[in-house]
Structure 1
Amino acid sequence: MSTSRIRKEVDEALLAFVDRQRPGLLAISDDLSPLMGALDALLRGGKRLRPAFCYWGWRAAGGGADAGIVGAAASLELLQASALIHDDVMDSSDTRRGQPSVHRRFEALHGAQGWPGDATAFGAGTAILLGDLCLAWSAEMFETCGLDGERRRRGRTVYDLMRTEVMCGQYLDMLEGTRGEATVATALRVVEYKSAKYTIERPLHLGAALAGARPDVSAALTAYGLPLGIAFQLRDDVLGVFGDPAETGKPAGDDLREGKRTVLVALTLERADAARAAALERRLGDPELDRPGVDELRSIIEETGGLAACEEMIERYLDEAERALRAAPITEEAREALAGLAVAATSRRT
């Protein structure tokens, strides 16, 4: 099955599941309609990488033409929706996928209706609840995907671990931002648990576990998926500073305003002289950072060699993933598909 076909089937399964849930919510109250509208808008975007890696983990481990794998893979998009909604609250992000983030959407609804009380608190509280609902629905969609009980039992172990790891990674990310002392090593620890495992390694493992993978196949998928996941997040870090808003769906330099202690920032601080390091530390995390301020910090990142060092790391991790993929004991069909996904994950434009 082609990547475009997988995406189409994942979209269809995801939207069909949400549509089945809709009457139950609206039967409770029509006031829940804005919640469904916000979720519909969020789910219309996204690259569907996690379902694609899950599907090809299944195929790599010998899984066949069982429609249930599409539903299991699609459930990861509801898990991702939960993570994004909560992440935007924690980061006070204004936008997601080119539109207002969920908490800002409900903050605006509060203001438009002229309701009493704190609009910001209402927006954040509503977003937390919608994120929790998506988390619950991700588990429900997985359990009702159509695969038999034994397959789901094997996959559930991976699914549970994946959810634990991403929440721990999210906490570590917040902790590093609060401490303001991230090193390359500590930033890479965040990358591993918040993104690399969650985006690539565990979706591969989930698909493989559902198919009953041999231990050597699972190990090969780790050898490919973990370095690729790190390269994916490092590319995302670069896009968070240098990306085109039309491509990223977020304002230029948004990671700088949010004060993210990324590997890119850590590499820059390692290489900066005292004056440049002080300038970066002073402006990083300033929510009022304007375009000239963004340009100033971009210049520091480039001139110190931080950007070049990050690009070198991306290439090194990508090379490691490609070597592992060539040696993996999987079908040629899966190898070719995973090679294509590696390019899609790390070659996004800035």
Structure 2
Amino acid sequence: MTAGAQQRESARPAPPSDAADLDRLRAAVAAALTDFLEMQRATLAGMDPSLVPVVDEVRAVAEGGKKLRPSFAYWGWRGACGQGLGTAEDDDAVLRAVAALEFVHASALVHDDVMDAAGTRRGRPTTHIGFADRHTTHGFSGDQELFGVGAAILVGDLALVWSDEMLRCSGISEAALGRARAVWDTMRTEVTAGQYLDLLRAAGGLPGSDGALTVARYKSAGYTVQRPLQLGAAIAGAGPAVVEAFAAVGLPLGEAFQLRDDLLGVFGDPEITGKSADDDLREGKQTLLVALAEEATDDAGRGLLGRLLGNPDAGADDFAALRELLVVTGARDRVEERITRRTAEAREAIAEAPIADDARAALDALAVAATTRTA
């Protein structure tokens, strides 16, 4: 680190101890989602009362979580306002616009759970499992699993439809909406393409650690930090300097966020994460953590990975053996080191970005929260 970087590091604002500003933002986003979903609930109930469980499921998925994506987008807007043309945008309208990101996220989660055959999400049954149970409870005819999967696909599709509607009806100006659309469209394309790359990697394509990082970038990292920041910049009408600065923040920080998620999926506390620590191993997720272990181990270790990773019949002792392999090969430590390094790169980029000081402090706090979380 250069002397100038060290000086910036020492002068960098520490994350607020109570995160009060971030909590207020999350509450505002949650309120915007609630208002929108109440309107949609009335619309679907008017079509037919049997549609109410569908909107209630979208609500359950969208209203959970830490609202990181809208937070990055909002502070991207706040930080870029002084550099752009969008200073006249109404704060509440911008909050509604960035809250729409939660519907994109909800859609990705529901579809991802179907593809992974996941059983739990945030302490509750995943959407396809919940609707399969509803099929059984109500004595519907036909195959309950197919019903659950079909319903989940439609719930995810509906969340994606509503993301567009909430952005369009947010109240931001037509000019801001027009600027935002390009980022919005790119982001949604990347998420969908990333989901396919994840399927491809699970089938043996995109091998090795580079393949794992490619999937992480497009499936999750880009739409978690980089694109939300750039969405905020677009609403503000910011110029290329801010957009490029946000890319320098978003790419390493989004990667660090996803790598933390990968570690929590295997080593997290289920009481905190809301999902079994065995699910990622049972589903055979081909993360960087797994790729590094496979590269570092011997034939016996690779044989263990081949037999147990993604094996639906594996038990507690098998998963314990896999976790031990991930530790003894140094894979877990190497992922932690990469999280630390990439987070530091992002925080340095935040410190150097041409943005307002309050946004700089908020984004730094978000960077820490996104990469040191326990759920």
TM-score scaled by length of structure 1: 0.97
| Alpha-carbon distance in 2 for matches of 1:279, 1:347 | 30
Counterparts of 1:289 and 1:172 in 2: how far apart (Å)? 26
- Given that 1:243 and 1:253 are in contact with CA atoms closer than 8 Å, whether structure 2 keeps it comes out as no
C-alpha contact 2:127 2:148 (8 A) present in aligned 1: yes
1:94 and 2:113 aligned: no
Unaligned runs of 5+ in 2: 1-19
2:39 is matched with 20
Structure 1 runs of 4+ with >6 Å offset: none
Is the partner of 1:146 in helix, strand or coil?
coil
Could you say which residue in structure 1 is the equivalent of 2:6?
none
- Is residue 227 of structure 2 the alignment partner of residue 208 of structure 1? no
Matched, 1:265 2:290: yes
**Following the alignment from structure 1 to structure 2, what is the Cα–Cα distance between the partners of residues 276 and 142?**
49
Structure 1 counterpart of 2:32, one-letter code: A
1:9 aligns with: 28
* DSSP-derived class of the 1:67 partner: helix
1:317 is aligned to 2:338: no
Counterpart AA for 1:317: R
Report how far residue 41 of structure 1 moved: 2.2
Tell whether the 8 Å contact from 1:61 to 1:330 is kept in structure 2 after alignment.
Answer: yes
- The match for 1:58 is 77
Who is 2:217 aligned against? 192
Counterpart residue type for residue 243 of structure 2: S
User: Shift in Å at residue 180 of structure 1?
Assistant: 6.6
Aligned-residue CA RMSD in angstroms? 1.3
Task: Report the alpha carbon displacement of residue 43 of structure 1 after superposing the two structures with TM.
Answer: 2.8
Letter in 2 for 1:51: P
With 40-49 and 240-249 compared, the bigger mean Cα shift is at 40-49
Percent identical: 50
> How much has 1:181 moved relative to structure 2?
6.5
- Structure 1 residue 37: Cα displacement: 2.4
Output the amino acid matched with 2:29.
V
Provide the residue aligned with 2:58 in structure 1.
39
Q: Residue 163 of structure 1: which of 188, 192, 199 is its match?
A: 188
Aligned 1:226-305 pairs, distance under 5 A = 226-305=251-330
Q: CA deviation at 1:66?
A: 2.4
Matches of 1:114 and 1:180, distance apart in 2:
41
Report the number of matched residues: 350
Deviation of 1:348 after TM superposition, in Å, equals 1.4
Paired residue secondary structure (1:264): helix
The amino acid of 2:155's aligned partner reads L
Shift of 1:67: 1.6
Deviation sequence 1:90-125 (CA, Å, 0-9, x none):
111111111001110110011112222110000000
Unaligned runs of 5+ in 1: none
Aligned partner letter, 1:48 = K
> Would you say the 8 A contact 2:206–2:212 is kept in 1?
no
Superposed CA offset, 1:32-56 (max 9, x none): 1221222232233111000000001
Deviation of 1:215 (Å): 0.6
